[in-house]
C-alpha cells in the first residue's frame, strides 16, 4: 500500500528529461544552443517580480542559489512568465571547490535538466558553463554544442588571486573543448583574462553585474 501511495511523487523531477538525449559518463542532458544573442540580462529573482514587465531581456541565474532554487522545486509555476522573455541562460547552480564532487555533478545536472525542459517548452536557451578545478572538466562541458554560444559568470569569481587562476584555467579548457563563437560574460571581462580570446576571433559580450550597477547608483 505504501509503495502505491508514493508512486505519483516525482521527487527527482524526472519529467524534465523524459525525452532527453545524454552526453558524457554521468549522462548530462544535451542542450540545443539558441542562435539569438541577448541585448540585456535580468536576474531570475527580478524577472519573477509581479511588477516586472520588460520582456526584452534574457533571464539569467548569476545570483545566490536561494533566489532560484524555487525553479527546481516547482518549474511549472514559472514557465509561462519565462516564455515571455527573449530567452534564458541556463541555471547556474553553484560549484564550490570544497563541495564533494558528486554535489558539483548534481548541480551541473540540475542546470542542464531545467535547460532541456525549458527549451522543449519553446524557450530559447543559451548554455551557462560553470567550471571549477580540473576535476570538473570531466563533465562540466558535456551536453553543450561546439562552435556556438556559451555564457560564463565572473561576478565574485575573479576577485582573489586563487579564484582568478582557477577561472582562467577553466576558461582556457572551455575554449579548447567547445570552440565557442560567442562568450557571454556576466560581470567584468578584464583584458588580462579575455583579450587573447577576443584576439583569436571569439565575440565577447560583457554585461555589467546588477551589483556593480547598484554600487554606481549609490555613489552617483
**Averaged over 36-64, what is the pLDDT?**
96
Q: Cβ neighbours of residue 145 under 8 Å, at least 6 residues apart?
A: 30, 31, 32, 33, 127, 178
Burial class of residue 68 (count of CB atoms within 10 Å of its CB; 0-12, 13-18, 19+) = buried
CA distance 203 to 24: 27
Read off the C-alpha cell for 131.
567550471
Predicted pLDDT at 9:
79
Low-confidence winner among 21-30, 112-121, 159-168 (lowest mean pLDDT)? 159-168
pLDDT digits (tens, 9 = 90+) for 64-121: 999 999 999 999 999 999 999 999 999 999 999 999 999 999 999 999 999 999 999 9
Q: Residues 58, 91: contact at Cβ < 8 Å?
A: no
pLDDT digits (tens, 9 = 90+) for 128-147: 999 999 999 999 999 999 99
Low-confidence winner among 28-32, 121-125, 213-217 (lowest mean pLDDT)? 213-217
Predicted pLDDT at 155:
86
Q: Residues 133, 96: contact at Cβ < 8 Å?
A: no
Predicted pLDDT at 216:
60
Residue 215 predicted with pLDDT over 60: no
47-53 contacts at long range (C-beta below 8 A, 24 or more positions apart): 47/81, 47/82, 47/85, 48/78, 48/81
Among 189, 187, 60, 188, which residue's Cα sits nearest to residue 126? 60
Predicted pLDDT at 11:
85
Predicted pLDDT at 209:
84
pTM above 0.95, yes or no: no
Predicted pLDDT at 156:
80
Predicted pLDDT at 157:
79
Predicted pLDDT at 1:
40
**Phi, psi dihedral angles at 86 (to 5 degrees):** -65, -30
Q: What is the DSSP string of 138-203?
A: GTTTTTB-TTSEEEEE-TTTSSSHHHHHHHHHHHHHHHHHH--SEEEEES---HHHHHHHHHTT-E
pLDDT digits (tens, 9 = 90+) for 168-212: 999 999 999 999 999 999 999 999 999 999 999 999 999 998 766
Predicted pLDDT at 210:
74
Domains of the chain, by residue range, sit at 21-219
Residue 213 predicted with pLDDT over 90: no
Amino acid at each position: 500500500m505504501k509503495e502505491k501511495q508514493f508512486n505519483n511523487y516525482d521527487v527527482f523531477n524526472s519529467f524534465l528529461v523524459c525525452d532527453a538525449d545524454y552526453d558524457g559518463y554521468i549522462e548530462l542532458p544535451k542542450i540545443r544552443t539558441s542562435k539569438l544573442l541577448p541585448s540585456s540580462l535580468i536576474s531570475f529573482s527580478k524577472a519573477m517580480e509581479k511588477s516586472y514587465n520588460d520582456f526584452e531581456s534574457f533571464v539569467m541565474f548569476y545570483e545566490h542559489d536561494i533566489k532560484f532554487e524555487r525553479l527546481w522545486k516547482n518549474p511549472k509555476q514559472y514557465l509561462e512568465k519565462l516564455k515571455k522573455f527573449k530567452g534564458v541562460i541556463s541555471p547556474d547552480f553553484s560549484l564550490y571547490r570544497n563541495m564533494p564532487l558528486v554535489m558539483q555533478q548534481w548541480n551541473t545536472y540540475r542546470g542542464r535538466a531545467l535547460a532541456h525542459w525549458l527549451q522543449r517548452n519553446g524557450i530559447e536557451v543559451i548554455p551557462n558553463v560553470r567550471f571549477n578545478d580540473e576535476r570538473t572538466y570531466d563533465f562540466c562541458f558535456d551536453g553543450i554544442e561546439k562552435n556556438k554560444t556559451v555564457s560564463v559568470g565572473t561576478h565574485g569569481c575573479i576577485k582573489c588571486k586563487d579564484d582568478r587562476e582557477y577561472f582562467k584555467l577553466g576558461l582556457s579548457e572551455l575554449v579548447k573543448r567547445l570552440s565557442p563563437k560567442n562568450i557571454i560574460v556576466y560581470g567584468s571581462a578584464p583584458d588580462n583574462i579575455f583579450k587573447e580570446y577576443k584576439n583569436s576571433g571569439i565575440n565577447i559580450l560583457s554585461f555589467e553585474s546588477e551589483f556593480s550597477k547598484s554600487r554606481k547608483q549609490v555613489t552617483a
